[in-house]
């Protein structure tokens, strides 16, 4: 493949619901441009992009794939993406580096939930896009109904630049309203026979052309003036205005195709090269500091790594976009994220699993390289003269979590290594070993997402595993002040142990003044604060530790030991063994022994005094609460609301957006186990949800009682 200039490059992400025909579209394009001599098919498991074993087994894309081809002195980079939302990490990575989107819609099913979800991603990244109405050859294709649904979903910015002469098995001709010609396909060669528009379709073609001209003219003052003067525009002027409209996201053209039969594909390629933006025409890349960096082949060299994958016999492959300058083989660059040097020994252009060497890659182009030592997705590599770090891809929060365990203990270390490797390939897989829960917690975008992870562990890495219900990271706290004394005394013949601690605990509240006095039945305690230490706890919340010792009843050298004992008990709360938080502790008195007092004595005295006080301070168990946003079709609203109510949800608000009803609620994490599976079942896969940690809140009394009993039973079992 030859080296192309920035203005000759087109970077396109293919998006669409599962079964919209993205992979088939890629096959058709690669066939028509001579990359492959024979088209593959998803059903026969021989397509260029879906080349992983798990994709072939499931009959759908699970990873994004880069394909690169040439057409009429242009280079076209295609990023084929999964249609299932569980694999949205691929979509986020692709949209980061794509300059525009080909948005596929299945002409037999129209606007589906996946279509709506992926439109949200396009909106989030503010990408220009064109709509490809595919599978018009299917016997159930309904052009008019689908077009109406598109207009309803996207609005009047969606403009038809083509329409089919007929649909179904007889679909073989398209009316192109830019060229004002009929494109007829009499075989599967993909080459159109161009002829005049039949008389019975002329009026409709004129109507659509006038709508297109008006929409195109609105994007340029000179075109608008000419339109007002002449009432029309020439073909090249329409193309110019349409391109500006696509760039400004004020015009979204609709094209007609059958990827399976190669119908409309030649015109689609022509449209891509002439009307879709090149890398220098779209908004610039941004650094983490907000600096805008334009795509420029004459600037110092820099690139952004948008994807890392690992393949057998090859190792790690890093896919990148060159933002500035140009790359040549064996160039030395600095990874500004890790401050390490990297040599790009090989530059590759890619078509699925086929990789070929290329000598040079210029700004705006996509490529790949292997055997980098310290580089992965979201990293920036530059020449030494610049220190840019490009804004990373912000992947979505996890929506599904489970605990995972190797069936063989001997595989534990290997499991940890492989899970971290899988995270490097798919950043939406989050892995955490919870010391608190004593579980490995894996989080992802849905049950399907994590089942694919498990398949890799079991089949590729040969680590048999099982999923377990994840424990909930409860917290413990107090609701009122309490006082306790504890004397630790131990005599074993030699040196003994002695330490006595008197302390008061109370709830921590932001902005609350330091304590000076406490009243308890039959006792009043006045405090003189000699020292104050405030700790942000690793598990959330605060501990404030006051030294209120007056008169030397406890030597200052023992105060850290008392604090250590208190912290030990906070790490294993008295109620359920969960972390304790948001507590103020004042040590105000105690006793020492001139010989037997030591650090361990005061550590144990502090620990046990804290434990006694905690039990009398109105102890409460806290549970993690998440902000949950559910997008649901209106007819399923009642069912989803009913289910949320069974999950102790508190509905915070409702609204409508883009054909969805949006429910915002606060829901305990304990009630969200396998929610994605339930939601899919209730709505037949037509809803989506997002969740994010919000706060800790007290559990209801009956649930606290249940948790206390469960912990007590567990303690007895372990005795």
For the chain, the C-alpha Rg in angstroms (whole number) is 32
Q: Mapped to the 3 state alphabet, what secondary structure does 328-349 carry? A: ECCEEEEECCCCEEEEECCCEE
- For the stretch 571-592, what's the b/e string if a residue is b when 16 or more beta carbons lie within 10 angstroms of its beta carbon? bebbbbebbbbbbbbbbbbbeb
**What is the DSSP code string of 64-113?**
-EEEEEEETTEEEEEEE--SSGGGHHHHHHHHHH-SEEEEEEETTT-S-H
Q: How far apart are CA 693 and CA 625, in angstroms?
A: 6
pLDDT surpassing 90 at residue 232: no
Tokens 């601690």, residue?
Answer: 501
pLDDT surpassing 90 at residue 55: no
pLDDT tens string 677-700: 899 899 887 788 888 999 999 999
403-421+428-470: CATH homologous superfamily? Elongation Factor G (Translational Gtpase), domain 3 (3.30.70.870)
**What is the DSSP code string of 306-334?**
EEEEEETTTEEEEEEEEEESEEETTEEEE
pLDDT surpassing 70 at residue 579: yes
Task: Please tell me the predicted confidence (pLDDT) of residue 402.
Answer: 94
Q: Mapped to the 3 state alphabet, what secondary structure does 109-126 carry? A: CCCCHHHHHHHHHHHHHC
Whether residue 416 contacts residue 440, with contact meaning beta carbons closer than 8 Å, is answered with: yes
pLDDT tens string 547-567: 999 988 999 999 999 999 999
| Strand duo 100-106 + 9-16: pairing | parallel
Q: Which helix (H) or strand (E) holds 717?
A: helix 701-718
At residue 354 the predicted structure's pLDDT band, cuts being 50, 70 and 90, is confident
Q: How far apart are CA 378 and CA 362, in angstroms?
A: 20
Whether residue 320 contacts residue 303, with contact meaning beta carbons closer than 8 Å, is answered with: yes
* Class (C level, CATH) for 476-618: alpha beta
pLDDT surpassing 80 at residue 659: no
What's the whole-number average pLDDT of the chain? 92
User: What stretch(es) of the chain map to CATH 3.30.70.240?
Assistant: 623-702
Q: How far apart are CA 149 and CA 172, in angstroms?
A: 23
Residue range 139-154: mean pLDDT, rounded: 92
At residue 493 the predicted structure's pLDDT band, cuts being 50, 70 and 90, is low
**What is the DSSP code string of 435-474?**
TTTTEEEEEES-HHHHHHHHHIIIIIS---EEEEPPPP--
Closest to 238 in 3D by CA, of 224, 248, 228: 224
User: What stretch(es) of the chain map to CATH 3.30.230.10?
Assistant: 476-618
Give me 575's structure tokens: 């109620």
Percent of the chain exceeding pLDDT 90 equals: 76
User: What stretch(es) of the chain map to CATH 3.30.70.870?
Assistant: 403-421+428-470
CATH number corresponding to 285-382: 2.40.30.10
Q: Give me the architecture of the 6-198+252-281 domain, per CATH.
A: 3-Layer(aba) Sandwich (3.40)
Q: Is it true that domain 623-702 has CATH number 3.30.70.240?
A: yes
Longest dimension (CA), the chain: 114
Closest to 215 in 3D by CA, of 180, 240, 183, 182: 240
Q: How far apart are CA 84 and CA 78, in angstroms?
A: 18
Whether residue 443 contacts residue 449, with contact meaning beta carbons closer than 8 Å, is answered with: no
At residue 277 the predicted structure's pLDDT band, cuts being 50, 70 and 90, is very high
At residue 719 the predicted structure's pLDDT band, cuts being 50, 70 and 90, is low
User: What stretch(es) of the chain map to CATH 3.40.50.300?
Assistant: 6-198+252-281
pLDDT tens string 281-316: 999 999 999 999 999 999 999 999 999 998 777 788
Task: For the beta carbon of residue 713, count every other beta carbon within 10 angstroms.
Answer: 10
Task: Please tell me the predicted confidence (pLDDT) of residue 67.
Answer: 94
pLDDT surpassing 90 at residue 595: no
pLDDT surpassing 70 at residue 414: yes
Q: What is the pTM of this model?
A: 0.84
pLDDT tens string 356-410: 999 999 999 999 999 899 999 999 999 999 999 999 999 998 888 999 999 999 9
């Amino acid at each position: 493949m030859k080296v192309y200039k920035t203005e000759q490059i087109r970077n396109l992400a293919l998006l669409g619901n599962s079964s919209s025909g993205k992979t088939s579209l890629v096959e058709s394009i690669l066939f028509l441009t001579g990359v492959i001599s024979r088209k593959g098919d998803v059903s026969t498991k021989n397509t260029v992009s879906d080349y992983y074993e798990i994709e072939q087994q499931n009959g759908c894309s699970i990873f994004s794939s880069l394909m690169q081809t040439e057409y009429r002195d242009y280079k076209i980079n295609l990023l084929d993406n999964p249609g299932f939302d569980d694999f949205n990490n691929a979509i986020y990575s692709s949209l980061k580096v794509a300059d525009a989107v080909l948005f596929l819609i299945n002409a037999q099913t129209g606007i589906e939930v996946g279509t709506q979800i992926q439109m949200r991603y396009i909106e989030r990244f503010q990408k220009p896009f064109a709509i490809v109405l595919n599978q018009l050859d299917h016997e159930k294709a309904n052009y008019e109904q689908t077009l109406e649904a598109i207009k309803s979903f996207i609005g009047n910015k969606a403009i038809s630049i083509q329409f089919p002469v007929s649909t179904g098995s007889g679909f073989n001709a398209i009316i192109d309203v830019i060229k004002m010609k009929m494109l007829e396909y009499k075989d599967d060669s993909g080459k159109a026979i161009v002829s005049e528009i039949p008389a019975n379709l002329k009026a409709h073609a004129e109507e659509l052309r006038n709508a297109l001209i008006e929409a195109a003219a609105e994007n340029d003052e000179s075109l608008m003036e000419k339109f007002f003067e002449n009432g029309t525009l020439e073909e090249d002027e329409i193309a110019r205005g349409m391109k500006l409209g696509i760039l400004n996201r004020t015009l979204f053209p609709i094209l007609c195709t059958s990827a399976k039969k190669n119908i409309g594909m030649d015109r689609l390629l022509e449209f891509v090269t002439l009307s879709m933006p090149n890398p220098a025409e779209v908004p610039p890349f941004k650094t983490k500091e907000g600096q805008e960096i334009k795509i420029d082949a004459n600037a110092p060299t820099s690139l952004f790594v948008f994807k890392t994958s690992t393949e057998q016999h090859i190792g790690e492959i890093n896919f990148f976009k060159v933002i500035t300058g140009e790359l040549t083989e064996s160039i030395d660059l600095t990874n500004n994220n890790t401050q390490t040097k990297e040599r790009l020994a090989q530059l590759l252009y890619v078509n699925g699993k086929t990789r070929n060497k290329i000598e040079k890659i210029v700004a705006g182009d996509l490529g790949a390289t292997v055997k980098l030592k310290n580089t992965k997705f979201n990293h920036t590599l530059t020449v030494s003269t610049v220190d840019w770090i490009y804004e990373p891809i912000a992947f979505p929060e996890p929506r599904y979590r489970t605990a995972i365990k190797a069936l063989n203990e001997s595989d534990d270390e290997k499991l940890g290594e492989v899970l971290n490797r899988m995270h490097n390939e798919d950043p939406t897989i989050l892995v955490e070993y919870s010391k608190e829960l004593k579980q490995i917690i894996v989080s992802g975008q849905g049950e399907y997402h994590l089942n694919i992870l498990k398949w890799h562990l079991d089949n590729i890495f040969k680590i048999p595993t099982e999923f377990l219900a994840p424990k909930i990271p409860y917290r413990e706290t107090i609701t009122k002040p309490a006082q306790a004394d504890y004397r630790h005394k131990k005599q074993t013949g030699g040196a003994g142990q002695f330490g006595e601690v008197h302390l008061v605990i109370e709830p921590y509240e932001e902005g609350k003044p330091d304590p000076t006095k406490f009243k308890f039945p039959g006792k009043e305690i006045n405090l003189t604060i000699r020292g104050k230490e405030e700790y942000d706890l690793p598990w959330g919340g605060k501990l404030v530790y006051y030294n209120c010792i007056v008169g030397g009843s406890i030597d200052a050298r023992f105060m850290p030991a008392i604090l250590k004992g208190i912290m030990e008990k906070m790490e294993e709360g008295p109620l359920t063994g969960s972390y304790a938080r948001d507590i103020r502790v004042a040590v105000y008195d105690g006793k020492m022994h001139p010989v037997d007092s030591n650090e361990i004595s005061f550590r144990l005295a502090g620990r046990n005094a804290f434990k006694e006080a905690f039990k009398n301070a109105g102890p409460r168990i806290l549970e993690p609460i998440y902000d949950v946003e559910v997008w649901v079709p209106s007819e399923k609203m009642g069912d989803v609301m009913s289910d949320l109510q069974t999950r102790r949800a508190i509905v915070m608000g409702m609204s409508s957006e883009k054909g969805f009803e949006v429910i915002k609620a606060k829901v305990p994490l304990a009630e969200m186990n396998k929610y994605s599976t339930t939601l899919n079942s209730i709505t037949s896969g037509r809803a989506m949800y997002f969740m994010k940690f919000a706060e800790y809140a007290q559990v209801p009394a009956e649930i606290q009682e249940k948790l206390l009993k469960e912990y007590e039973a567990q303690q007895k079992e372990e005795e």
